[in-house]
A and B are shown apart, each in its own frame.
Chain A
């Protein structure tokens, strides 16, 4: 036990202090946040981007000033003082981004408004432009009908809508979709980290063998101790990396949210103009939803289980070969098993309680990903989680045992590249 600890420490430190570890640990969360926030931000920016100058042929004679008054920064409305076809040509030439024709009966709430543009507008243009025209006509008609001020006020009512979900503990912001996304990210994250850390373990074993230092090592410790020390040391490195990522992501998003909110007009989000920046962040849905603590705990536990299960098998494969190229063909079957649950992630998120989802989330090779997804997307009965985890423990104890038997033979075998059959034969050696 003491020797495993010495090996663990050495394997851990020599990796954690390397510059690659530090660079990747710091940069990965920035990339992840960029991947999540940037598309959202671009969406918001696009919706309030400059749509350019729109020429207006206003037969009513009263709507254009109202449009100009109501338009936000996005639109600039100008009167077109030329015949329709020459203005249309101007649009084609790009002098205007569009031509809006308001016939005279629009003022009575009849007829239609027509918008010509060279590019066909955009998905968000139609409701926004239509809304502006509606609002202008509405205001004009209220004036024409000499409506009392209270009535005008009633018509102009704009109540913000807050979404709240009722739970057994009380009420909380509705985050079902957000948690499903969190589940997806967690599942995918376990998939990626198990593959990467597994590859690091395999790489470490291959280096030890090809540099022949392994023979010195096993003259001091048992092969099993060497295997476990390496697997646990790299696992500890992985935990530190993930904890660092967790803190960084929460930290950055706590700071980034309010900063982004400063640039967003609350009224666009259907919020009161003086809404706090937290409210804006919540409404924009770019903040990280509150993740239940139990989910975090299970996530870490299932990550560890999955890591032990797969990395020990990767170590066994590494012990059989002398360079990473040779390892490739041997590790294909294993990598395929890691990939399987990814194919089912979407299904499990959509129907977390379906029989297939329940069964898949019990299988040790799949549970590290699929049980975490289920836990995030829905309430899972405790017995199911517990059973799944017991099976996973059985799974990694078994895989470590099998790997240990292959490893102790493999590390001393040089020469011919072994096949899977050879690995089975080594496993059977007394």
Chain B
């Protein structure tokens, strides 16, 4: 049974439909990536899951029961727009937020010390939040989110504003949480991060779900139609191929190019063209398209249909 079920949920703000009859599930012990461009309806959906707002239609079930104040205690939510009480000290702040999730003060304090140690932040306990840098505040807020050991952890763009070292640390902890059996809902528009850690994805745009399923299924569903080249020499043959609408280049530097094969173009066609023109070919690979590619093609397909309907 899924831990979280979103069933035909719709949310309107005035005449604007932010979330349009959306359904998806989050399986226990897995990381679900909620992907979408800015303004797609990710935050609106998350707010309904966290019982901050209430759907106009449809229902959200947590553990088989409609969400409510009871489910808030079992969820931890890290909003995209971070915020803490600036004048409160880190220790008191974390204790307060934990207490509101139903964690007794004594338990909270031990966990706070433990997590601050883990983040190399033991001496922050008595510092006011306003004395900390942005990145430090973000770590404190992440601790606040996971400290009550919620069954569902909702992370909205958790990596934004973190340096590579801290991103790495955060990713390790997210994977540990998953190993410990927590369910994680991870909202982002950064595809490479999603691809690294998510088990399942759910792609949302303009309030509608475009693709959902396990990452593997979704990627294989799009076939092995991506090609990657490493070479030296003249690359103008790529422009010719693109002009004939045989490929679309997604990423290109002097010595490297990634592309999608269009309209059933065989991969050989690209290899032949390359061998004719380049001085040296180091690497040729046919592969699954990266998630960002899938994302772009799915969203542009949606745009096409919208335009067709409008016309």
Contact = CB atoms under 8 A, between A and B. Distances in A.
Interface string B86-117: 11100010001101110000000000000000
Contacts of B99: 6
Interface residues of A, number: 20
A128 interface: no
B282 interface: no
A60 interface: no
Interface string B34-51: 000000000000010011
Given A216-B77, A216-B97, A220-B101, A412 B85 contact: no
B82 A221 contact: no
Contact of B69 (A6, A14, A213, A222): A222
A86 interface: no
A348 interface: no
A285 interface: no
A169 B49 CA distance: 66
Contacts of A3: 100
Nearest to A2: B102
B259 interface: no
A14 B79 contact: no
Interface in B260-289: none
Contacts of B73: 220
A177 interface: no
A219 B97 CA distance: 10
Interface string A198-222: 0000000001100111111111111
A67 interface: no
B144 interface: yes
B83 A220 contact: no
Interface in B45-61: 47, 50-53
Given A218-B52, A219-B75, A220-B72, A213 B100 contact: no
A211 B75 contact: no
Centre residue among B47, B51, B52, B75 by max chain A CB count within 10 A: B52
Contacts of A216: 77, 79, 83-84, 97, 141, 144
Contact of A212 (B82, B92, B97): B82
Centre residue among B73, B75, B99, B100 by max chain A CB count within 10 A: B100
Centre residue among A215, A216, A222, A412 by max chain B CB count within 10 A: A216
A216 B88 CA distance: 15
A329 interface: no
A6 B85 contact: no
Interface in A1-31: 3, 6-7, 10, 14
A383 B72 CA distance: 46
A219 B67 CA distance: 12
B168 to A, nearest CB: 25
Given A219-B52, A220-B100, A211 B83 contact: yes
A216 B97 CA distance: 9
Given A219-B72, A219-B77, A213 B50 contact: no
Nearest to B50: A219
B163 interface: no
A121 B175 CA distance: 92
Contacts of B52: 215, 218-219, 412
B81 interface: yes
Given A14-B87, A14-B88, A412-B53, A212 B100 contact: no
Nearest to A221: B100
B79 A6 contact: no
A213 B130 CA distance: 13
B72 A215 contact: no
Chain B at the A interface: SS class:
loop
Contacts of A214: 83
A214 B47 CA distance: 12
Contacts of B82: 212
A10 B84 CA distance: 14
Nearest to B88: A14
B80 to A, nearest CB: 9
Contacts of B81: 212, 215
Contacts of A218: 52
Given A10-B96, A218-B52, A219-B50, A213 B72 contact: no
A194 to B, nearest CB: 24
Given A219-B72, A220-B72, A211 B84 contact: yes
A219 B72 CA distance: 6
Contacts of B86: 207, 211
A47 to B, nearest CB: 51
A211 B134 CA distance: 12
Nearest to B105: A6
Given A14-B87, A220-B72, A412-B52, A215 B79 contact: yes
Contacts of A6: 96, 99-100
A128 to B, nearest CB: 59
B151 to A, nearest CB: 14
Contact of B83 (A7, A10, A215, A222): A215
Nearest to A411: B52
Interface string A230-268: 000000000000000000000000000000000000000
A208 B97 CA distance: 14
Contact of B85 (A213, A219, A221): A213
A287 to B, nearest CB: 41
Contacts of B83: 211-216
A220 B69 CA distance: 8
Centre residue among B75, B84, B88, B96 by max chain A CB count within 10 A: B96
Contacts of A222: 69
A207 B83 CA distance: 10
A426 to B, nearest CB: 11
Given A220-B73, A220-B97, A220-B100, 13 more contacts: A10-B96, A211-B86, A212-B79, A212-B81, A212-B83, A213-B83, A215-B79, A215-B83, A216-B77, A218-B52, A219-B51, A221-B69, A412-B47
6 contacts: A6-B99, A207-B86, A211-B83, A211-B85, A213-B83, A219-B72
